[in-house]
Every structure is written in C-alpha cells, then in structure tokens.
Structure 1
Amino acid sequence: MNLSQPLLEVNVFIPHEHYYLWNPELLGLHIVSDAVIVLAYYSMPLTLFYIVRKRRDLPFPWVFLLFSAFIVACGTAHLMEIWTLWHPTYWLTGAIKLITAVISLTTAIALVQIIPKALALPSPAQLDAANQALQAESTERQHMNLALQASEARLAGILEIAEDAIISIAANQQITLFNQGAERIFGYTAAEAIGQPLDLLLPNQLASIHRQHVVDFSQTAGVSRKMGDRREIFGRRKDGTEFPAEASISKLQLGDEVIFTAFLRDITERKQAELAMSRLAAIVESSGDAIIGKSLEGMITSWNRGAERLFGYTAAEVIDRPVAQLFPPNHADELAQVLEQIKQGEFVQSYETVRVRKDGQHVDIAATISPIKDATGRVIGAAKIARDITERKQAENQLRDLSNRLMLALKSGAIGIWEWNVTTNSLTWDNRMYEFYGTTPDQFTHAYDAWTSRLHPDDRPFVEAAIHQALDGEKDYEPEFRVIHPDGTVHYLKAYARVERNPAGIPHRMIGINYDITELKQTAAQIEASLKEKEVLLKEIHHRVKNNLGVVDGLLQMQARRSHNPEVIETLKESHNRIASIALVHEKLYSSDDLAKINIAHYIADLTAHLFDSYNIHANQIKLVSHISDISLAIDTAIPCGLIINELVSNALKYAFSNRQAGEIQVMLDEQPDQSLCLIVRDNGVGLPEDFDPKQATTLGLSLIQGLVKQLRGTWAIHGQSGTTVTITFPRGQS
C-alpha cells in the first residue's frame, strides 16, 4: 500500500471550517494568527543558523540547530492548521506533529544533558571580569612587545654603529651575523659573508688553529671570555691583506643550538702608534740632547740619557725632584716665568741660559720648552729639550775675538773690503776702498761700470776676463792691476775674491778684498834694478875668475913645455886639468841665466870630454858611458864634485888601461829617495892591488878626493875587483 495515500486522504474527513461554522471572522482570526506564527517560526531558525555560522566558537552549537529544527517543525504544524481549514489532510497534520514531538523530545533530552555544562559557563559578570583581565594582559603584552622591539632596535643600532666587528657563527662555524663594523674592517658586505665559513676572515696559516680554538671553547664550561682575556690574532681582509687584531669570544646555548659571537677590533693603528711611541722613546733615549719632562709644579717626571750626560745626574737621582736644583742662584726667577708661560699653553722657543751640573760647574744650554696636554687639551706638564752650547759659546767668543783682531788687522794692514751683487750689478765698499780709488761715497755711483772706468786701460781687459773666469768656476779671482786716481796718479792694487752661488749653482755675489801694493811695486822695481846690477857684477866676476884661471893654466902649460922632467910635466898636467875643471864651472855660470847654480849633466859631459882630449884618448879606444840625472847644483857643491870626477876619470885614463887598447869608463850621478846624491865612477880596467888600502894611500889624488868628500859632508867607498869602482854619497845641499 502507498504510504502517502492515507496521509493525503481528504474524502473521509471534513475540513476545519465546518467546525467554525464558516464564520468569516473566526476563520480570519485563525488564519492570520497561524500565518504570523508560521512566519515567526520560519524566521527564527534562519537567525539561529546565521549566528552559528558566524560564531563558530559558540558552545554547544548543535543545540541551536536542534532548536532550529524544533521551531521549523512547530511552524509547519501551524501552517497545516491553515491548510486543514479547507483540506482535511489530518493524517499529514498528525505526522507533522509527530515529527515535531520527536524533535521536541530530543531537544528536551539534550537540554537536560547539557545543563551541568551550561551551568559551568561563566556568567556575564565573570566574562566581563575575565575580559578586563584579558584586556589588561593584552595591554601588558603589547607593552612588552614594544619594549622588546625597542630593545631589538637598540641592539641592532649598537651592532651597526659599533666600530668593532661583531660576528656570530653557528656550531658548524658558518657566519650568521656580520655587522657594519665587520664590513668596514674586513671589506666584505654582510651578504657576502653570511653563510660563509669563518676561514674566510682568517689567514691561511692560522685558520686551522682558530677552528680548533672554537671547538675547544665550545667544550668548556665558560660562556664568555672577558676583555682581559683577549689575545692578539690576525685577520684577513677581502683584498688579501692581513692585519693585527684583538678579539674576545662568547657562546650562547639556545636549546640544542650553540651560537658563538666574536668581538674583534682592528689594532693596526694602535700597533703603529705603539711602534711610533717605541721609536720615539728610542729616539728620546738615544738623543744627544737632554730631554726632560716636568710637572706644572716644577717636579721632574722624565729624564733621558742625554740629560744624564749633560747634567751628570742619573734618572733615579732626579725623578720626582724639583727641577730648580739645576738653576744657578742668579736664575732663580726664570723657572717661575717659564712655568707661567707653559700654564698658558705657550711655547718657549729656543733661548740660551745657564744651568748647574751635579759637579757644580755651570753649563751653557739652548732650551726649547713645550706644554704637554692631555686628551682634553688641558696643560698637565712641560717637555724641555736642552742642548749643551758651551763649545759653541767658546767658539763664538773666539770668533768675536778673531773678528775684532781681523778688524784691527784690516785697519792696520790697509785692506779694503768690497761686495758685488751680480744680480743687481751694484757694488758695496768700505771706507778703505774709496781711499784706494781716490773717490768718496758721494762721488761713486756704486755701479759695476763706475768701477771698471777707474781701471788702467791696459789692465781692464784681463781684470774683466779674470772676473768672468771666477764666475764660470775656472779659476780664483786674484789679479794685480792699476787704477788711475782723479789727479792722474797711478796706484797698484792686489785683489782676492770668493764667488757665492745659489742652490742652482748660479753665481749671485762676489765678496773680496783689495790692498794697495804701490809701495811694494816700487820697492820690487828698485830690487829688480839692484838685482840686474848685481847680476852684471857676478857675470863680470865669473868672467874674470875664468880668465885669471886661464892665465894660471897658461903659465902651467909654459912651465911644462920648458921642463924636461916627465914627473914634473905630469904633475903640471894634473894641475892644469884641475884648474880647467874649476874654470869650467865659472864658464858655465857666466853663460847661464842663473848665476847661483849650474846643470851638472852638461858640466860633467864637458868636463869628461876635456879630460879625454887632454890625454889624447879616442872614443874607439876607451868608451865613456854617462848616466847623469837632470840636476842643478850650487857652485859650492859643483866645484868639489867636478874636482872628484876629474881625479877619478884622470886616474882611470892613466892607469886602468895601460896593458890593453880598449875599455869603458862609467860616470853615474843619481838622486836617492832620501834626496841625497850618489856619484859612481867605474872602469873595467886592471883594478887595484889586492893589498891596496885607501887609508894608507899617500898620493895627492886620493888625498884630494878624501878632502873633497869631507867638504861635501859625504861618504865614499872603493872596490878594486873586476876594475875599479868608487861610490860617493853626499847631501845635495842648496840647489
């Protein structure tokens, strides 16, 4: 059977309107009331459903849905009341009411079950209090968040503005934080460094050491190392350069993660400053000057080795002692004046004063004092550099005395001083110069041309040439020249000058002197005339002596021709040769330009030639070998030397070659290293007897030789093996 058929059965029952007797008013009342109820019931589930959908946090949302179903069912029941007024489908109406009853019962049971839970829900007051508490907690959390954000901002600002490098690394030693200080120091940007291993920032030779250092530190109990625990390391910049650094490291445990943070400072400038300070300290210690530090109260605070040498005190003896102990009593006020200047921040430039050494002696010093300031610019002391100028003071005094003596010498010596400015072509003279040139400062224009116009016309060219040679550096300026005074008189002047040049080597000034040599020139002329007269007289004397010796020689020759005794003839011949040797000296002097000395080489050559002619010896029979240095001897040396050679060569010609027709005679005269002369006469003749003793010889020739050697203040020796050799050494004497 179809279930919907009885539910929709309408023919069995009568509609409700029959029960209301078709009263329009009554029907209208029921229709309107039920219609309004239906509309209200149908609208309430929509509202509840909307609330549940929008407020998914509501407790027990299914209760709202049950109430919605219950209300919809109730509304449908009222809708069926209107429907059954005309359609008696009471089975359908009853079914709907049954459904409504089931939903209502289910809702009632559900409400009973949630009553404990609903009662446990907070009341509005409690919700308000809880809400206020939550609001307060929310406000506090907001404040905490703001404080945390501010702290993070401050930390980030500190990290970014810090001059030091702040670098964080993870346990795997990869960089996780790289601040701006690190960027400046290492040259990498944060983007370039973050995620890279720490080795990026370390020298290759130190990378493994630092890696192990981090590992060891991670295993220690400590969480940081203080600044006092810093150790010097080296970092490597992006460009590969290495630099000294100072670093500390800390670690932070965040759960299972360990973060290491290194604080690193580039100490290159500090190292350079320390090196500069050490160098400065070394310079101060090694300085030859005294360098002293003192406080504003005048107490010594530092004392270098130069101060020890200058004042005689060791540093231990004077540190923290008053500097006033170095001041002599008459300089006591000087310290207060200097300290007052220093307190004002003034420099006391180099000044000269006197101090007292440890031994009580006074020492002249040149001192420079500078204020010592702290970092704020406040004067806290003074530094003094003192130099011993005792020797300079002595030199200045000596120079002053010398200058005074020079001025006296210039005045007494009639010396004029002049200066020529080459650039401006102007002359500066002292008073003596005006006297030398017969003019006055008003009459002289001080121009170079004004000076040259006063020179003698014949001397002007070579004087100006001498100036140009001096300016060119070719030779010194020291000419003698004549000047013409306005009255027409001629005066002789001697000049000396020195050229001064600029750094480029260009001459810019000449400074010189003139002195009047007119009287000297006149005296020299007189002496020269006198010398010429004496020269003529000496020549005449030499000529007459030679002639007189010639007369004596002629008498000897006449006597020899008249004598028939061979011994007498030989003796007269020897005397003739001796006189000829003396006469030859006067002949050489007479014919020489120098009347005081003769050329000994020419003299010996003529003398030996005369002897060979005298004994009628030919060159193909006996050979003469001469080696005579170019020496000039005075007459008092030349005559004895000539007589000795005459005796030795004559003896060799007479006795050395009696048994043979050929032979050789050597005559040598040389100057020795000690400027003495060595005369050697040697022959290769028969020599001397084995028992020959020159000291026992009584012949005139040997006696004459011994006497002449003594006259020359010389020594002699004779050897008779393989011929005869006579060696005579004697001082040169005046030449």
Structure 2
Amino acid sequence: MNHNNKIKEFIQKSNWVFILFGVNILLLVDKNSKTTNIKNKLEFFGYKVQYVTSSAREAVEKALEIIPDIILMDITQKEEIESINTFSKIYESNIPIIYLNTHSKDSEIRLINQINHYRYIIQAHKSRDLKYALDVAMHRNKIENILKGDEKQYTDTLNTLPEGLTIIAPEGGFIYVNKIFEAMIGYKKEELIGHDLLKFIDESELPQMEGSLKKILDGETFEIQCKFKRKDGSVLWTIAKHSPLYEDIGKNNPSIVLHTDITELKKAEAELELASRYNRSLIEASLDPLVTIGPDGKVTDVNSATEKATGYLKEEIIGSNFSNYFTEPEKADEGYKKVFKEGFVKDYPLEIQHKNGAKIPVLYNASVYNDETGRIIGVFAAARDISQLIQAEKNNQLLANVVESTDDAIIIKSLDGAILSWNKGAEQIYGYSAEEVIGENISVIAPINLSNEISSLIEKIKKSEKIQHYETIRLKKDGSIINVSITLSPVFDNYGNLIAISTIARDITERKKIENELELAGRYNRSLIEASLDPLVTIGPDGKVTDVNSATEKATGYLKEEIIGSNFSNYFTEPEKADEGYKKVFKEGFVKDYSLEIQHKNGTKTPVLYNASVYNDETGRIIGVFAAARDIKEYKKVMTALRESEKKYREIYEESFDGLFITSPNGKILDMNKKGIEMFGYDSKDEILDLDLMEDVYDDPTDRAKILKLVNDQGSAEYEVVVKKKNHEKMITHCSLTAVKKNGVITSYRGIIRDITQSKMAENAIIRAKEEWEDTFNAVPDLIVILDTNFKVLRANKAMAKKFNTTPEEMVGLTCHEVVHGINSVPSFCPFSKLLLDGHEHTSEIHEDNLGGDFIVSVSPLNDNNGKLRGVVHVARDITERKKIETEIKKSLDEKEVLLREIHHRVKNNLQIIASLLNLQEINDNQCADNVLKESMGRVKTMATVHEKLYGSSSMSKINFREFTEKLVYDILYSYGRRMIKTNLIIEDINLNIDTAMPLGLIINELVTNSVKYAFPDLNGIITIKLSSSKKDMELTVADNGIGLPKDFNIENIDTLGLELVKNLVNQLEGNLKVNGTDGTEFKISFKEVMYKDRV
C-alpha cells in the first residue's frame, strides 16, 4: 500500500468526509455594506446563508444556536473590531471564521492576527478569492478537527514519514503540511497554510506547475518533479506524487501530495554530467591514440586520435580485437595480457597498421583500472607515435546513468518485533507481500550476521534514543542483499504509552552505486592525467590553474600544490602570450599548436606547442580550459637521432661481413649490400639487381621452390644452398631467410648469406680425416707410439714396430724405455718425464745407439674431458741424415725465423690433431674438431668481437674497450669451461680505434688463454686485467696468481706461437713488454694509441 492510499485510509477511519456543496454560513456584515451582493455570490457558489446580522453579539448568540459550518464576518467598523473578543466561545467550538476587509487599517489586521492567527482575512476580495478562502477554511478546519481527535497514532506516523506530506486545495493553496515538509522547504506551516503553492515554486518551473494545478482541479493522479525555493534562497527538488483526496466527487477535490527530496540526487546527476564531459574533453584533446581494452581483449573506447592513427571509425573499432590494428597481432595480445598480469607496462613497442597500409611505430604505456571493489575491469593504454613524437592523453568513458530511487518502505512493528503493517514500498524493496510478513518477526529481513542489530535498535527506541538515517544492509526475499537507510520512531497511544515502532527504510543501493561510480570516475580521471607523458593542465575562467599532472611538475620544477591556484601565465617566458592563448580558447573554443616556452624553476627553457579546448558544466556553460603541451625540443632531438640511426644502420648494412639482401616473391633481387655483391663477384649493385634468382643465382633452380615452401610455412628458415658466381664458379652458402608480410600477404623476403665454401671443405676434410685417421697414423714414416702414464705402450704405428722388427700388437704393454733404450728405468733426458711434471708438450733431440742415429722426440699430452692426463703421444723422427742440412738452412734463413716458428707451431698443431683424433677414437669421437680449432677460434672470435662492438658503437672506427674486454674474457672462460676462475677487470671507460683495439684484443686473448690453460692446475685462481691511460701513453697489465713461469723462461727466447704473436703485436703497437713470473705471472705492456687510418 503506497503512502497516498495509506493517508486516504487514515482520513476515512477518521470520518473525514465532507462535500463543500450545501455548507451553512452565518453572515455578519457592516450596516452600510451591500449584504445582498455578498449573499448572492455565496449562494451562486452553492453555499447556504443561514442567517444575516450586523451585530457581533447577535452573531455569537445565533452561531451557538444554529452551529453554522462557517462564519463570514465584515470587520470594517472599529466598534465591531473591538468586540471581536466576544467570539472566544465560537473559537472554542472550532467554527472557522472568514474576515472580510476591504479598507481596514494594518493595525486592525494585526489585532485580528493577535486574537486568532488561524483565521483568514480577504482584502479587496474578488468572487474567486472569496470561494478560495471558504474552501481552504473548510478543509483546514476539518483537518484540524481530525488531528485534534483520537487519531494520534496516525498523526505521529505522518510526521515521521521520510517524505514531505501536503494537502493542496483545488485552487492550489496549502491546507496541511507535515513536519518533514516544513524541514524540507524551511518555512513553518503558519507561513505555508492558506498560501498559494505557486508562491514557493521556482520561476523557471511556473509554466509546468500551472498545468499541474489544472490536473489537481480535474482530480487526476500524477507524479511530477517540483523545484521549490527554500526560505534561505536555496533550491529544493522533490518528486511530488499527487492523488485526489476523495475518489467519488470528481473535480474541485483536494489533492494529497507526497514529496520525496531528490535535491542531492539532482546534484549527483549534475556532477556526473560534468565529470563525463570533462572526461571526454580529456580524451578528445589528446593527440595520442588512447584506447581502453576489456579482459577479453576487445576495445571498449577510443579517441579521435586512434581513428586518425588506424584509419577506422570509432564505431568500427569498438568491440573489435585490440590486436587487429597492429602489424604483430600476437605481440599486441601479449602486451595487453601482460598489463592484466603485472598491472602496468611502459614503452611497449608495437607498430600500428593504418587502413591505407601505412605503419606507425609506437610505444605503449598502459595500466589496469579497477571498479569500486578493486576488481580489475580493463586496461587503459596510451600510444606514443615515435615516428613523429606525438604525445597524448589517456581516455575512457566510465560513467553510468544514476538509477532513480524507489519508493520507501514504511513498516510498523510491535515492541517485540512482530510486523503490524507493511506498505507497497516495503513489498517493492524487500520482495515480500503484506500477507506473507504481517505477524512475522522483523528479523526475516535481517542477514544472519545482523540478527542482533534489530533488537539493539528496538532497545534504543525504548530508551527514547533517536535513530535517523541509519545505514545498514537488509535481506530480500530472493536472498539478495541491499543497502538501506532507516529511521526508527516511537508510536504512542492516546495516553502517551509506547505501543509500537515505526520504521522508514529507503533503498540506497543505487545511491551507493552512484557514489562508487563517482569515486571510480575520479580515480579513472586522475589515471588519465597521470599516465600522460605530456604536461597537462586545466585552467579556470580567471586564468588560475585548477589541476595539473606530474609531467607538469617535472616541466616547471614546481610541486602540484604550488601550481594549483596560481596564474597559468606564471610558468612561461612570455606571460602575456600565455594569457592571450588561454583567453583565445575561451573565446574560440579550441587552439592548436600554440607555441610557448616553459620557464623551469632552475632557469631552463622548454619550447612547447599547446593544444587546448574548453569544457562545460551540465548547463553548457564554459567552466574551464583543458590544455596539453608537446615538448618540441625532444621531437627535434629524436628526429635528428632517427636520421643518424638510419645513416648508421645503412653503413652497418653496407659494411657487414655477411651478404644482406632483399628479394621479391617473383624472384627479383630488390637490394643487396656491398659484401653480397662482392661475394657473387659483381662490380655494381645495378648488375645484381638485373639478375633472375632461378636462372642466374641458384645452381639447381628447383632449390628455390623448396626453400620458399619452408620459409612460407615457418615464417623464416636457415639452410645451405649452392649458388653461382658471376664467373660461373659454384659457391656453398649458409642462408637465413625471413618472409615479410603486409596485411597477411608476403611482400618480400629478407636474408643473410655467408660463403661457407672453405669451411665446408674443411669440415669435409675433418670428416675424411676421421674416417682415415688409422691409415694416416700407420702411413706416417715417423715412429709414433701412445703411452699411458706408467710409460706402457697403448698403441704403436707400423713404422715404430718395423724399427724393432715386431708388430704393433706385440708392442702393446711394453714400457718405452725397455723397447727403445733397452734399460729397466726411465732415462734422465726422457721428455715424457718432464710432461708428467708440468703437463706441457716437450721436444728433445737425442742420440740413441740402440736405434742407430739422431732423433727429434716430441711428446704431447692426451687429456680426458675433465682435463685429467690420460697419456701421451710419443713421436720420434730420424734426423740423422738431415741434421747438417737443417743447420745450414737455419743459418741462411735467420730472417725467416718467425715464419719458421709459425710453421713449426702448425706442424706441432697438426701432430696434436692427430693425437687428439687418436684420443677421440679411443675416448670420445665428437671432440676432435673442437680440440683442434679451439685456440684458433679464440683468436678469430677476438677479431669478430672487435667488429661486433664496432657495429654496436656510435662510431664506426672506435669501440668501448671495457665492454669489449668483459665479453672477450667471459667467452674464453666459457669456451674452456673454467667458470670457477675469477676475474678482476680494472679498465678505464675509454674508446679505442680498431688499429689499437685489434692487437690489444689479440694480446689479451693469448695471455688469458695461456693463464686458463696452464696457470691453475686446481682450476681455481684470479686473472687480473688493467688498462689505464695518461696524456702520454697507455698501460695494459694481464696477470694471474697461478703457478707462474718456469725458472728458465726468457721472453726473448720462446718457442710458442702465442707468445711470439704477443711480441709481434706489441711491436706493431710500438710498445714495450715486461714479464714478471715471481708471484704468479704478469705481462705489462706500455704503448701509445695507434692513429686510426681511414679505409678506402
């Protein structure tokens, strides 16, 4: 049952039923007045004039006799006014009195008001005014009688309603108001009753209200929003629900009106509307593409900058996959999912694919945003166009319409909590019908965890405590929880005894949602501002700053608290121009690329371009300017850097040691660098671009189809293929090819080609050597034997066995000194004994009578995978006949000593290959090539690392030597598996040219490699490398704390290629080399940087 019906029920219970037609009137008039005229008017309106007199005393006597419904009294005579006190008995009988006054003085009216201010006076009355006064007096008199009667319980209920209650006469005057309405509007009921409703309506709503009065006259039931003027001048908005007081009399029927205060809701709607427009202005003012993404990867909002960047309309983008607009959709998917996982990404690189095919490289900054419960509901992402350095603002439209409030629940319960009455509002809010709950305990609507709350509230009412607008939660019939605001009031009987409790409950669930949405909008709005990398600012009409982001703090050097409230123009080198700019926005609505110069607190200046637009309140009034600044200094720097980068990578492309090329799907070469052109033997790029791949390049034309199928299926592939050079020679190459797609269609192929003809030949040679190693072993004329660490023969070649007139198999198990020297112990000159001591190769020249000649004997260690000595390869070469010749050759070729040493070193390496291959055959076949090439690969890798660092350097002629050395040393330790060896690098952060870096790198490679191999038998130690410079020269130190150098070590008399190479490289640097082997090993080289010579 709604409020209006409840009140009607109350009126009917109070027997408040009357009809104005047939009302009896006693008329007291001035002797000189036109009595007939007044009497006729009354009878015309349907009233009955019972008695007419000009004497006040007579009127009192007659009134007490006939008891009229109303007394109409003319008070123009002074003596009659003075005799008004004689009406006191009539006042006690509650007969309403209308005072007619057409020309009385104000003092007379004040007298009447003092006597009884509840009666009414009509001055200069018209017929309509007369009837209106009579109606109001009758209705009000009836209401007063009822309210003074036995209906106190209902009156208390009406006055505790959360709504304002009024009763309006058919002509629009107030007949009754409850206390809530008095509090709403700020007027006392004495200031309202008898006055026209329109007097209190805001002027802007008068046309609408005049139409509503016609509905009241017609007895209609309707609902309308009313805008009242409070007594203090503020505005009161209500939802007014009108219904006729009586159902059976048609027109001219008073109206019962319930007023629900919606002033705060109206304010919330205005604030939401303002926040929405402000938020959208942030989004659209941004020059950067902004987008919000739901958890499913679908786009939920974009700004116009996104439309421009993608070429698609907002309506096309929203609802589609975020990844649709990038050249790498998978990477875009990974990016937004990463935000959901980690909460934020910064500078995430992507490439926007425009509808027209254009590509825009961007960096994305993105973060999640949450609802009021903290649940992640989406991602906000801002893209920075790094090709043009266009910055932007984030955006998202996250506000919802406010759900209108529902009717309140009015419940009366007994002191023990039993429900006595349950209105329609309660049915709507809680879901129970009155029949279901009347008689039940009120705890039926309380959640289990709040079951004690209701009894606690009842106890407070019993103690006369007030409970107003108490916010809590309640349980609906369907099990759902709602937020409510409740007011509890006592209900007394006629004797003042507490007999029940009235509960007024308002469903504030929607209001709570609105508050949460406002809070979310505020957080979201702030996230937009703070996520932007550009300085953002809002300015009021007075030129004062109202909000800034952290980028503005950074640009100006001032804190947010210092900037807000200050003049916008304070932070520019030209304040007047800044003032003109923001005023121009207020005047024209928008400015674009407005140039200013920000003055930082420390004096630095930043040139910027401003884009700005106005934003409005809910009425459309402009209330501020939103401005975004673009730092064009950084843009210029980036553009310069981009050009330099492009030039640099073009140089790298052209100077690469590998061939780089681009081909079309139909088999044409689109581009090739210098190395590729040189590799194929052509003189110019024009020649290479005229070639057809299948006819002119592939040795087997069918290879191309096979390769393309592989690349098209996988996106990229590595393969070996034989191609033809210009001179028709065949070249074995290793290629890496990648398909380049646009809109899912392959537009070109990009590849790297390397000539592996020589390495392939070497590889094949190693394989053949592995297959034929035993034949080679047996075919060598030198005497070769493999010994274990106990000097016993493990293997002997045929030459060795033949020398002793036996077979290789028969020699196995014999000791070498028994076989060769014919003795039972190891001779003192045995090189194997020395090897057992230091693990190094040893070579000796001996004369052996048992063998009948002179021999050069060489022993090389055989180590297992852990570096443990397993045995030696013992090689003896008969030099008896060649000794004299060798001496002469050495004397005549002194100037070729270095070359001979290199040849000799390579001979020893070849012997080591044979030994290693033999060892691998015995131990592990897969390590042969690695053991042979490891040191050479170290030197090659040193030079390759120099070039690698050159490619990564800003200069094509210099490298950062500290970074180069760190990588070089790491690679050496990794290559030899010596990670337990520690390094101490003390190298200045200097750049060296290639002519200095290359020999230094090779020196470090040789010395560190020697340390790794020989300095630490227990595999633990420290290698120290220092490089320092002064104005005159530089100094390189390579040292270790290992076992040191042999006592007879002489740098001027060395027989190893590595140290010989070190000496030559020091000479190349025109430097000095010092060696100290007393405490570990230390090589110290002083030199000057070699001047770099440009290559032609």
- Tell me, yes or no, whether TM beats 0.5: no
Q: Normalized against structure 1, the TM-score is what?
A: 0.45
Q: Normalized against structure 2, the TM-score is what?
A: 0.32
Higher strand share: 2
